Amino acid sequence: MATTALLPKSISLLLTNPNSISPTRFTNVSFLNNPSDQSSYTTKPSTTRPNAKKKNSWLDPFDYGDDPEMEYGSFYSEGKQDEDPRPPDNPDSPYGFLKFPMGYSVEVASLGLKIRGMCCCVISGGVYENLLYFPVIQLIKDRYPGVQVDVIASAGGKQTYELNKNVRWADAYDPDENFPEPADYTDMIGIIKGRYYDMILSTKLAGLGHAAFLFTSTARDRVSYIYPNVNAAGAGLLLSETFTPDSMNLSDGRYNMYHQMIDWFGRPGRNVPSQAVPPLKVSISRKLKEFVMAKYKNAGAEKGKYIVIHGIQSDSKASMQSRGDTDSLLPINVWADITKTKRGVRPVFVIPHEKERENVKDVVGEDASIVFISTPGQLAALINDSVGVIATNTAAIQLAHAREKPSVALFCSEEKGKLFVPNAEEKRCIVLSSKTEKLIDIDIEAVKNVVPVFDLPLALV
């Protein structure tokens, strides 16, 4: 009775008078009237789909598997995409090509083209390595139309991209610097993060440090070459796709040094056949052609009546050598012997630095045509207006092939000649090599015998 007194009045009356709870007060409650009948309160069957997709919520938090028409995927892995059809022409339009009915926005490019994605390429090496990467960039543009491609390369390598119309922005940053300045390093990370790339590629052999640099870009797909030894430990955890070269120097692959990345990009996909790698091509602007024309005319040469001599020995970085062939320059006295009996066309000697001008004049003569060129764009324009090229294994040989000019390539060994210039006959290139595997010992008489292929008819001289 003591505990009952502490309860409220209404509850205490119920506890002291159990007969006050009458079933008649709950006549509408079915389980009190007929407890054995359980059919009236059975659970409603679930309406969820038995074949609903179950994805990891960490990977795709917005896909609950309730929409069978909804399919998400990486556009880099689903092959080539089709563009929206162009609207029909409107003959009544005063502009001739505007075909938008009233009430529609005047946007020719489709929305898919604008948001297709962006790709960043971090290229290791100098002019030669960046030039050989041109087919990879063209493959990306062919495989995934609408993707914008940016490039990060060294100061010398960045100059190469004035010849490539597929590149939007080119930033100067040397990825081969082992101990970069902290300010430059963090600034480049900020630039990459601010552009929100969908994919970032790298041709630098990555260890844990470079993989972390690519990882901080927050790009969805991170693709890179890695070291072929223990230095690659941990890099694969931060990268989406990795390629292992055959040696520590990627340039040992010569002309096909990027074949693993090319095979990965051109692989067949869903309803998409394998993509063939395009040939090396370069584009030269009109202003660049005019600037170079003034240079070689001041040197005494005329358009279509000179040959380019490239590969003079110098300590300048503008020699445009390959990392896979360090023995690829000849002293000026050897070049003087090669061009001594040249008739019909005028040899134009390309020097990478002004300090070499006096040396050329002392050996060749005061009337020698000498042009100072330090950028690949100017070299391409000079080759474009020439009859052909005689050069060692420098970027001049690859630029001659890109502009479909005949060339004579001098190599220190026959093996390197075959690897750097595959299909030489199709490229109109004559490959000559040294028998001692030293370029300085190359047979000068053999070079003189093939040089007359550049001679012009007497009527054109």
Task: Count other C-beta atoms under 10 Å from residue 408's C-beta.
Answer: 21
Amino acid residing at 414: E
More confident residue, 137 or 81: 137
Q: Which of 43-57, 139-153, 229-243, 381-395 has the lowest average pLDDT?
A: 43-57
Structure token digits, residue 412: 């220190």
Mean pLDDT (the chain) is 80
Q: Residue 236 corresponds to which tokens in the numbers above?
A: 């694969």
153: confidence class by pLDDT, cuts 50, 70, 90:
very high
3-class secondary structure, 45: coil
pLDDT digits (tens, 9 = 90+) for 33-63: 454 444 444 444 444 444 444 445 455 554 5
Q: Is residue 232's pLDDT more than 50?
A: yes
Nearest Cα to Cα of residue 197 among 240, 133, 143: 240
Query: Which pLDDT band, with edges at 50, 70 and 90, does 273 fall under?
Result: confident
Higher pLDDT, 151 or 54: 151
The string of pLDDT tens digits covering residues 291-322 is 999 999 999 999 989 999 999 999 888 899 99
Cβ neighbours of residue 431 under 8 Å, at least 6 residues apart? 409, 411, 414, 417, 418, 421, 424
Statement: residue 81 has pLDDT above 70: no
Amino acid in the structure at residue 69: E
Structure tokens at 261: 């990345």
Give the H/E segment covering residue 205.
strand 199-206
10 Å CB burial of residue 158 (0-12, 13-18, 19+) is: buried
Over residues 405-447, the pLDDT tens digits come to 999 999 999 999 999 999 899 999 999 999 998 999 999 998 8
The residue-averaged pLDDT of 371-393 equals 94
Q: Tell me which of 10 and 147 has the higher pLDDT.
A: 147
Report the predicted TM-score, pTM, of the whole model to 2 decimal places: 0.73
Task: Categorize the per-residue pLDDT at 380 as very low, low, confident or very high, splitting at 50, 70 and 90.
Answer: very high
Sequence letter at residue 316: S
CB contact at 8 A, 152 and 184: no
pLDDT computed for residue 112 by the predictor: 42
* pLDDT value at residue 269: 73
Q: Is pLDDT above 90 for 367?
A: no
Q: Which helix (H) or strand (E) holds 203?
A: strand 199-206
Query: Is 252 in contact with 246 (CB distance < 8 Å)?
Result: yes
Strand 241-243's sheet: what is its strand order?
Answer: 167-172, 148-153, 118-122, 199-206, 221-226, 241-243
CA distance 133 to 175: 15
∠ Cα 440 441 446 (to 5°)? 110
Report how far residue 348's alpha carbon sits from residue 309's, in angstroms, rounded to the nearest whole number: 6
**Mean pLDDT value of segment 148-166:** 94
**Which residue carries 């340039």 as its tokens?**
251
In this predicted model, what pLDDT tens digit does every residue of 207-220 receive, in sequence order? Answer: 999 999 999 998 88
pLDDT grade for 99, boundaries at 50, 70 and 90: low
Around Cβ 399, how many Cβ atoms within 10 Å?
A: 30
Least confident of 80-89, 181-190, 344-353, 392-401: 80-89
